[in-house]
């Protein structure tokens, strides 16, 4: 194929490989033994990954992701959160605020883009498409890098890592990742010296514009993906590629800043020392063990190592999410460096010198320093098999016989040297790395699969809650390890919690800091206006719910068990705090808003976390303004716990609808 080993666009030399079989006359393809049609078919299939690595990686990823969709995709873990957000976006596409989790959360605090894409395509279909296209883009980047000698193996490693991302259920991140990889692929095209020379200034400007748009969309889909694109932008800046750096980095920063301003959110994602060690080590090994000429790869590794260290030292919303970059691409980078780690054999020039003794700057006697192809920092001159004198990955000096011979300064040799310490270090790192991601992926699948009560239909519980008027109050469902409750019940009742670790740590620290007692739990139930508590009878609780589950199961004087079946126990809170203070009563509480009945004019405290997007709407859903004279909303004074609830100023008795519609020029119904 045109992009096959030896002379294709991949530029992936055959140095370091065993000599190819004799070529068939006139075709240049290896001879096929006369074993019949089946043997010829198998031989052709075996040649596909090397001849067409992009197509092979894309096809394999598609098959594996479809199998994940059909056989392994469950409804727990991160998929539970994404199911809940997709359902909310489908039911309330014009709402900026979700009332059903944590007293109220902005949709944008999770993602600006992914809930609507998942609502349109389906959560699992989005993952299949994103993972498949991502695999093809990674393979394309490996091909264009030129210096990667084992493109099929590296592409396979990428496919496996992306499948692990699907198994962990990170659909939102997967959507952001495919957009970020698209931006990097455009940068890779612009980094090709031939492309830059041939493209007019206007076309180059359009390329940078596309990079910026893709970067902004990637960040809008997943801020974590935008952060990783920021690492690439920082590396480009350090390498003096200022225009490319700004195109990749500025839109992402703008999206984050605009989102934080318009949709404020506070929270932290935990990251312990044990979580930080392996990604930091992966970055350090990549920096120290890849060829010195892979300057941009080393720059990204250095930036990532520093970011990992800072994320561990400074609490932030990123936290352990920073490990995803190493889990996805650490193995690919280390594996790509493996063929370059051999020491020179008797027929190979010493690393860094050509056959004539002149310094070339490339391991294994490769061509001239500074000839680069691709955005990954891989130098075409270091692909193995390039000649000197300015040859690129496809130029003179590359042996085209398929035998693995290369020329370097006039000396012909093969890169078949011994295994130096770098090779063994890389091999050991790859073993440890794949053991880590393998364990993590299997643990995610096992830990998040719904079991016990949540493996069964919650319809009886939902029916009981509905009969008891639970849609007029807030419900605490003791979180399960699978977090299935966050999607199964959120469309029907308003939950005191949900599935967002950052928000849970920020708003409910007593479940994590060891301060949970019968007294503090009662205060927490009052704080969040909880009327009912649901305890799954046989589900493993989440790490932030183990003490709570034991406390509720042991019996509390202010909780009265009012219903149970073999899978659920329902408790009513005695003298429960109302969601809205008198003179108001709640007539309906749902994910999209509240309906209040106010008996007399005055100020009403509503225990919904204040947002500038909160608005009063009329019967047709039209947003009201303070000038309409039909009421307004403002933030209540902060409580001792730091809560800023919403205060309704009602000018007259009647019904008041609280929602949060999107608006372009103004938002909410502020007093």
What are the tens digits of pLDDT across the range 259-293?
999 999 888 888 989 899 999 999 999 999 999 99
pLDDT of 119: 97
User: Quick one: pLDDT band at residue 539, thresholds 50, 70, 90?
Assistant: confident
Q: Residue 59 is encoded by which pair of tokens?
A: 């096809």
pLDDT tens per residue, range 124-158:
999 999 999 999 999 999 999 888 999 999 999 99
H or E element in which residue 655 lies: strand 654-659
Q: What predicted TM-score, i.e. pTM, was given to this entire model?
A: 0.81
Half-sphere exposure at residue 270, Cβ-oriented, CA atoms within 13 angstroms: 13
CA-based torsion, 549, 553, 559, 563: positive or negative = positive
**CB of 393 within 8 A of CB of 380?**
yes
Confidence check: pLDDT of 662 > 80: yes
Q: Is the pLDDT of residue 597 over 50?
A: yes
pLDDT classification of 202: cutoffs 50, 70, 90:
low
Q: Quote the pLDDT of residue 197.
A: 54
**642 or 92, which is more confident:** 92
* Distant-in-sequence, close-in-space partners of 125: CB < 8 Å, separation ≥ 6: 69
State yes or no: pLDDT of 443 exceeds 60: yes
What is the b/e burial string over 500-524, where b = at least 16 CB atoms within 10 angstroms of the residue's CB? bbbbbbbbbebbeeeebeeeebbeb
pLDDT at 250 over 90: yes
pLDDT average, residue stretch 78-90: 96
Q: Which residue has the higher pLDDT, 44 or 354?
A: 44
Q: Is the pLDDT of residue 352 over 60?
A: no
What whole-number distance in Å separates Cα of residue 405 and Cα of residue 226? 42
Residue 38 has what pLDDT?
76
Q: What are residue 571's DSSP bridge partners?
A: 533, 561
Mean pLDDT to the nearest integer, 37-64: 85
Closest CA to 329 of 291, 293, 290: 290
Counting residues of the chain whose pLDDT is more than 90, the rounded percentage is 68
pLDDT level of residue 397 (50, 70, 90 thresholds): very low
Calpha distance 145→141 (Å, rounded):
6
What length does the chain have? 671
């Amino acid at each position: 194929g045109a992009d096959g080993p030896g002379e294709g666009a991949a530029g992936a030399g055959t140095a370091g490989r065993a000599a190819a079989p004799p070529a068939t006359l006139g075709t240049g393809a290896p001879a096929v033994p006369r074993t019949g049609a089946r043997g010829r078919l198998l031989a052709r299939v075996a040649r596909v990954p090397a001849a067409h690595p992009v197509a092979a990686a894309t096809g394999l990823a598609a098959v594996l992701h479809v199998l994940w969709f059909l056989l392994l995709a469950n409804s727990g873990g991160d998929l539970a959160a994404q199911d809940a957000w997709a359902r909310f976006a489908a039911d309330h596409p014009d709402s900026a605020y979700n009332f059903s989790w944590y007293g109220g959360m902005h949709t944008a605090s999770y993602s600006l883009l992914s809930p609507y894409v998942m609502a349109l395509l389906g959560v699992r279909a989005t993952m299949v498409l994103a993972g498949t296209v991502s695999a093809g883009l990674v393979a394309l980047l490996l091909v264009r890098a030129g210096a990667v000698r084992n493109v099929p193996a590296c592409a396979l490693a990428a496919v496996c890592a992306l499948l692990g991302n699907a198994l962990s259920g990170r659909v939102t991140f997967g959507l952001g990742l495919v957009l970020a990889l698209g931006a990097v692929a455009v940068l890779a095209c612009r980094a090709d010296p031939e492309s830059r020379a041939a493209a007019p200034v206007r076309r180059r400007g359009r390329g940078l514009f596309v990079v910026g748009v893709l970067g902004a969309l990637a960040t809008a889909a997943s801020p974590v993906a935008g952060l990783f694109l920021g690492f690439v932008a920082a590396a480009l800046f350090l390498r003096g590629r200022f225009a490319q750096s700004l195109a990749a980095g500025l839109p992402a920063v703008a999206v984050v800043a605009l989102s934080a301003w318009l949709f404020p959110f506070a929270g932290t994602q935990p990251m312990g020392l044990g979580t930080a060690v392996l990604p930091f080590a992966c970055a350090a090994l990549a920096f120290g063990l890849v060829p010195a000429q892979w300057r941009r790869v080393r720059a990204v590794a250095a930036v990532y190592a520093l970011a990992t260290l800072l994320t561990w030292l400074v609490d932030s919303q990123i936290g352990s999410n920073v490990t995803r970059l190493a889990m996805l691409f650490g193995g690919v980078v280390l594996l790509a460096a493996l063929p370059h780690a051999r020491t020179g054999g008797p027929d190979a020039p010493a690393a860094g010198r050509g056959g004539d003794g002149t310094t070339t700057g490339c391991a294994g006697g490769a061509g001239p320093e500074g000839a680069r192809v691709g955005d990954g920092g891989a130098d075409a001159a270091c692909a193995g098999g390039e000649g000197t004198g300015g040859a690129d990955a496809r130029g003179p000096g590359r042996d085209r016989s398929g035998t693995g011979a290369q020329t370097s300064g006039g000396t012909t040799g093969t890169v078949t040297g011994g295994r130096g310490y770098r090779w063994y270090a890389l091999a050991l790192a790859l073993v440890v790395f794949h053991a880590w991601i393998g364990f993590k992926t299997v643990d995610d699948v096992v830990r998040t699969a719904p079991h016990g009560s949540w493996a069964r239909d919650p319809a009886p519980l939902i029916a009981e809650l509905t009969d008891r008027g639970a849609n007029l109050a807030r419900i605490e469902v003791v979180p399960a390890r699978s977090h299935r409750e966050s999607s199964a019940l959120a469309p029907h009742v308003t939950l005191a919690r949900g599935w967002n670790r950052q928000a849970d740590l920020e708003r409910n620290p007593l479940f994590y800091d060891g301060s949970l007692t019968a007294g503090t739990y009662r205060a927490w139930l009052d704080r969040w206006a909880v009327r009912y508590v649901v305890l799954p009878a046989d589900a493993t609780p989440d790490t932030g719910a183990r003490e709570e589950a034991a406390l509720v199961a042991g019996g509390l004087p202010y909780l009265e068990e009012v219903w149970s079946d073999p899978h659920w126990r329902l408790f009513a809170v005695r003298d429960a705090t109302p969601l809205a203070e008198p003179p108001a009563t709640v007539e309906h509480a749902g994910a999209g808003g509240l309906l209040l009945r106010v008996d007399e004019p005055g100020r009403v405290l509503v225990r919904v976390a204040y947002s500038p997007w909160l608005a009063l709407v009329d019967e047709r859903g039209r947003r009201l303004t303070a000038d309409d004279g039909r009421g307004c909303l403002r933030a209540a004074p902060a409580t001792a716990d730091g809560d800023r609830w919403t205060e309704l100023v009602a000018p007259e008795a009647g019904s008041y609808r609280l929602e949060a519609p999107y608006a372009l020029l103004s938002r909410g119904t502020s007093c």
